[in-house]
Amino acid sequence: MAEKFIKLLEAGILANEQDKFRKANLVLLPSTGDLVISGDIHGHRRNFERVVTYANLEKNPDRHIVLQEIIHGGAEDKEGGCLSFELLAEAVQLKIDFPNQVHFILANHDTAFISNSDVLKGGKEMNASMRAALKRRFGIQMKAVESAIERFLFSQPLAIKTPNGIWISHSLPADRNADKFDFGIFDRRLKVSDIVRPNSAYLLTWGRSQSEEKLKFYADKLGVSLFVLGHQVQETGWFSNNKNLIILDSQHNHGHLLRVELSTEYTIENLLKAIVPIASIC
């Protein structure tokens, strides 16, 4: 069982690295087709399944899908251990099946698992919870499985950029850290030290509450006009500043996704019209 799981993750790592649209730590999408963007999944199997059903990649070869933060949440074993690694395996298989259509982005719970730093969700320390479940599932082979998960999460790109000026990443640095952020991180090989506080991949995945001023600063630096982020919990499934930002949340029954055409120029008003409630998907 462990060998099969590890082999799957290693194939997923290769698929991440060989994605034909990937350049260093960025995925640069083409100007044809469309894009389905999900927010944080956190082990919510039904929402993941609905997002995949909506994307219908097999019948839409020019469609892309963005997935983020699969781990930490959802189903638990009898002792309360987090089983989200099972859903991660399904997401990895989707990447293997559609290697140039499925794109992950690195998230803060991913960096926390890689570095084994505490991260709370619902009052539970999620790394301890997931590692306990892995130990019960894989026994003496748990460390090899754990390493494979860490390596897969680390192989994810940092962000997606569309030709029509939309930037998708898990978050952006908080205002106070904007001047400390190294924009060169998108153009070079990621290092483990990058994901550790206070370095740039950490700042990118953990930042919150970006001001309109700083969003304009990031837009100028990155050559985009609109941002689609996750990370910040939204009880209604989404939030917008009505200027240049949408935050998506896909981890609960009010979760939403976003579908955009890659050849269409968007205003924030038009982008808001493209938000889809996940519960509406059969």
> What confidence score (pLDDT) does residue 54 get?
98
Taking residue 90's Cβ as centre, other Cβ atoms within 10 Å add up to: 14
Beta carbons within 8 Å of 4's beta carbon, 6+ residues apart: none
For residues 207 and 177, is the Cβ–Cβ distance under 8 A? yes
Q: Give the pLDDT of the chain (282 residues) as one tens digit per residue.
A: 899 999 999 999 999 999 999 999 999 999 999 999 999 999 999 999 999 999 999 999 999 999 999 999 999 999 999 999 999 999 999 999 999 999 999 999 999 999 999 999 988 999 999 999 999 999 999 999 999 999 999 999 999 999 999 999 999 999 999 999 999 999 999 999 999 999 999 999 999 999 999 999 999 999 999 999 999 999 999 999 999 999 999 999 999 999 999 999 999 999 999 999 999 998
Interatomic CA distance for residues 162 and 153, integer angstroms: 22
Shortest CA distance to 30 belongs to which of 65, 72, 62? 62
> What confidence score (pLDDT) does residue 122 get?
87
For residues 152 and 92, is the Cβ–Cβ distance under 8 A? yes
Interatomic CA distance for residues 84 and 169, integer angstroms: 21
User: How many structural domains comprise the chain?
Assistant: 1
DSSP 140: G
Give me the domain span that covers residue 161: 2-280
Taking residue 98's Cβ as centre, other Cβ atoms within 10 Å add up to: 20
Shortest CA distance to 126 belongs to which of 106, 140, 138, 110? 110
Which tokens sit at 127?
A: 């790394």
The CATH number of residue 13's host domain is 3.60.21.10
pTM of the full structure: 0.97
Which tokens sit at 47?
A: 């929402």
**CA torsion 95→97→101→106, rounded to 10°?**
0
Cis amide bond preceding 198, omega within 30 = yes
Taking residue 216's Cβ as centre, other Cβ atoms within 10 Å add up to: 14
Which contiguous run of DSSP H or E holds residue 271? helix 268-272
Cross-strand bridge partners of residue 243:
none
- Residue 68: φ, ψ to 5°: -145, 150
